């Protein structure tokens, strides 16, 4: 009885501590909200520069769970600050026409996290920035270090100033998977693989110590395609020859300020205070005062949110890995999205739907669950696909039946292939004295165990399931894209393609971003003028956002994104692959997913 009361009291104390912490968190958040709103109304003075500080910024497809500022910032802590792509591009286009905005000032470095800040998203962001410049307003930038992503965006600017002790860190593109094959063998972890498609390299890190020839071939072609496009656009924006840019990159990789200036990549070398002083004088600010400016996040919060009444286009963001069930943060839950698509089909106020895909794929069952609802939806109203930075494997599975598929040249797509992976810990367990015995009703009754390797007969069953799923994948693509199944098979095999190649191969229809997809959907939905937009998932009201945050917590991926330096990169690489295993929850054990660790930086 004493133990019971001790446990009971301990539980009460723990509950009280949790409640107290939650109350303090909420009160602190409200205090921040009040302090940020009370008496500090944001004003945009005439002649102000719109300041885009990229430090800690992660451009995502879907809107953030919580609005910027106040409690959202408190709960986010040091994690990258998400900015929705559509809102960011809308803000820049609004600034291009806003008489109060003199120009745009760009500084800092992106903090990519999850599937955010990929080159497809940056392409749309860059185009919107170019519209500001085309309107006659200067786009200026200052950097301590310019990475490939920052250079790609800032290249459209009029002035780019680099710190004298800075660098242009633009050695080219690379994908560097980590392999565990030897480690698993030493630890006594068995891995058996079933797959369809000779290029399907998603499981290679678990069974090899290096890239297979087929995987190396496809990654080489993909990276060359993406780099060719980036190099061409950067060179054109800076008014230099592509060959000269490549020569400089090959010669230095980490390009010094002097070389960057001589080549025309930057317009000047200088210190931050010199740039700020020049902006102060340009905007007519008094000595000692900052130049006239408005922060990008504050400006976005001021954008008018009005209903046009012309008709609604729903934008559904499938961003993250596709998993069976409801899904969580950075996941596309098949059940959750199927339910939302069904709701949109039955909603007469929605005239058309845009599915924005930024996903490497995942569960084949979840992808099919979503595709079923998309096919029913497309029979009733237009469905347009907008491919983000990744729309491959399962991400392509859910895209195949769009009335029109838009892609960016740098989108990673295709990867039409299927695999299954079976682990066993028999040797590992035996090394520490653990064994199993079993009783079963038939030859196949114990085939789902991880205590021993699968027999040849059992493995043949898994292979048959994988082959069947691959055949179904081919059929869906063939039907959705109006192609011969044999032709789909020829370009499938699990091979990844760039968006530019996807258009040539017939896997996509047109080069274009989210804005073009929305406009096309509005046209198909017979909406005249600017459509109203409904977004899923969207930014939630405070109460719902808090409940969601406490339900899922902060994902390890989001927390680890704040860890800097080489150690942070290695930790994230290992964590990403461990988390991917945790997301292998397809009830049939069959997956359509991109090769592991295909993050291009």
The two structure tokens encoding residue 450: 């991880």
Residue 406 sits at the vertex; the CA angle it makes with 404 and 411, to the nearest 5 degrees, is: 145
What is the three-class DSSP state of 111?
A: coil
pLDDT tens per residue, range 506-558: 999 999 999 999 999 999 999 999 999 999 998 755 555 455 555 555 555 55
pLDDT at 16: 44
The two structure tokens encoding residue 288: 């000692």
Q: Say how far apart CA 336 and CA 295 lie, in whole Å.
A: 35
Q: Are 114 and 557 in contact (CB under 8 A)?
A: yes
Looking from the CA of 101 toward its CB, the CA atoms found within 13 Å total 26
Q: For residue 194, what are the β-bridge partners?
A: 420
Q: For residue 536, what are the β-bridge partners?
A: 316
pLDDT beneath 50, residues of the chain: 1-39, 70-71, 74-76, 545, 559-560
Q: Which of 29, 597, 65, 21 is nearest to 328 (CA)?
A: 65
CATH match of 312-540+557-593 with 3.90.226.10:
yes
| Catalytically annotated residues | 200, 393
Residue ranges per domain, the chain?
312-540+557-593
Classify burial at 400, counting beta carbons within 10 Å of its beta carbon; exposed 0-12, middle 13-18, buried 19 or more.
buried
Backbone angles phi, psi at 9, to 5 degrees: -65, -40
pLDDT at 564: 52
Reading phi first (left if > 0) and then psi (alpha if -120 to 50, else beta), residue 414 is in left
Q: Are 368 and 338 in contact (CB under 8 A)?
A: no
Within 8 A by CB and 6+ apart from 40, the residues are none
What is the three-class DSSP state of 323?
A: strand
pLDDT at 5: 35
Reading phi first (left if > 0) and then psi (alpha if -120 to 50, else beta), residue 172 is in left
Within 8 A by CB and 6+ apart from 295, the residues are 51, 53
The two structure tokens encoding residue 461: 């069953």
CB neighbourhood size of 355 (10 A): 28
pLDDT tens per residue, range 398-445: 999 999 999 999 999 999 999 998 999 999 999 999 999 989 998 889
Within 8 A by CB and 6+ apart from 560, the residues are 568, 571, 572, 575
pLDDT at 565: 54
């Amino acid at each position: 009885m004493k133990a019971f009361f001790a446990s009971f009291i301990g539980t009460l104390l723990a509950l009280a501590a949790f409640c107290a912490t939650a109350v303090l968190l909420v009160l602190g958040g409200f205090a921040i909200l009040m302090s940020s709103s009370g008496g500090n109304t944001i004003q945009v003075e005439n002649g102000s520069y719109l300041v885009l500080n990229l430090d800690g910024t992660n451009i995502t497809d879907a809107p953030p769970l919580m609005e910027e500022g106040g409690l959202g910032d408190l709960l986010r802590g040091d994690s990258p600050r998400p900015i929705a792509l559509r809102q960011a591009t809308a803000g820049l286009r609004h600034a291009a026409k806003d008489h109060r905005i003199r120009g745009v000032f760009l500084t800092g470095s992106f903090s990519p996290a999850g599937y955010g800040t990929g080159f497809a998203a940056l392409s749309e962001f860059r185009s919107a920035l170019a519209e500001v410049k085309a309107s006659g307003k200067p786009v200026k930038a200052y950097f301590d270090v310019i990475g490939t992503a920052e250079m790609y965006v800032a290249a459209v600017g009029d002035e780019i100033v680099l710190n004298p002790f800075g660098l242009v860190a633009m050695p080219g593109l690379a994908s560097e998977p980590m392999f565990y094959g030897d480690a698993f063998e030493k630890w006594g972890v068995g891995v058996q693989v079933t797959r369809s498609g000779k290029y399907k390299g998603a499981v290679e890190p678990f069974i090899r110590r290096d890239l297979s020839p087929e995987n190396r071939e496809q990654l080489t072609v993909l990276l060359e395609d993406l780099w060719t496009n980036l190099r061409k656009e950067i060179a054109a924006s800076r008014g230099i020859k592509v060959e000269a840019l490549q020569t400089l990159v090959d010669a230095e990789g980490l390009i010094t300020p002097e070389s960057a200036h001589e080549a025309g990549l930057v317009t000047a070398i200088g210190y931050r205070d010199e740039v700020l002083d020049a902006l102060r004088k340009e905007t007519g600010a008094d000595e000692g005062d900052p130049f006239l400016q408005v922060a990008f996040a504050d400006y976005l919060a001021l954008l008018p949110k009005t209903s046009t009444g012309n008709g609604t286009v729903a934008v559904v963001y499938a961003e993250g890995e596709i998993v069976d069930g409801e899904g969580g943060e950075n996941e596309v839950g098949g059940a959750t999205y199927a339910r939302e698509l069904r709701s949109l089909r039955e909603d007469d106020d929605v005239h058309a739907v845009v599915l924005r895909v930024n996903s490497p794929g995942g569960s084949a069952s979840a992808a099919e669950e979503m595709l079923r609802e998309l096919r029913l939806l497309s029979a009733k109203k237009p469905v347009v696909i907008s491919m983000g930075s990744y729309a491959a494997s399962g991400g392509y599975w859910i895209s195949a039946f769009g009335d029109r598929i838009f892609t960016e040249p740098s989108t990673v797509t295709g990867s039409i292939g299927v695999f299954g992976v079976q682990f066993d810990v028999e040797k590992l367990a035996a090394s520490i004295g653990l064994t199993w015995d079993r009783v079963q009703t038939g030859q196949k009754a114990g085939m789902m165990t991880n205590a021993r390797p699968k027999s040849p007969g059992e493995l043949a069953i898994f292979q048959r399931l994988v082959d069947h799923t691959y055949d179904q994948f081919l059929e869906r693509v063939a039907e959705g894209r109006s192609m011969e199944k044999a032709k789909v098979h020829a370009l499938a095999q699990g091979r990844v393609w760039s968006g530019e190649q996807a258009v040539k191969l017939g896997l996509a229809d047109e080069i274009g971003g989210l804005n073009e997809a929305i406009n096309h959907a509005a046209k198909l939905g017979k909406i005249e003028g600017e459509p109203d937009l409904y977004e899923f998932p969207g930014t939630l009201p405070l109460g719902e956002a808090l409940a969601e945050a406490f339900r899922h917590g902060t994902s390890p991926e989001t927390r680890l994104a704040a860890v800097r330096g080489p150690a942070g990169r290695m930790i994230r690489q290992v964590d990403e692959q461990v988390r991917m295993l945790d997301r292998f929850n397809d009830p049939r054990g069959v997956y359509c997913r991109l090769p592991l660790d295909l993050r291009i930086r």
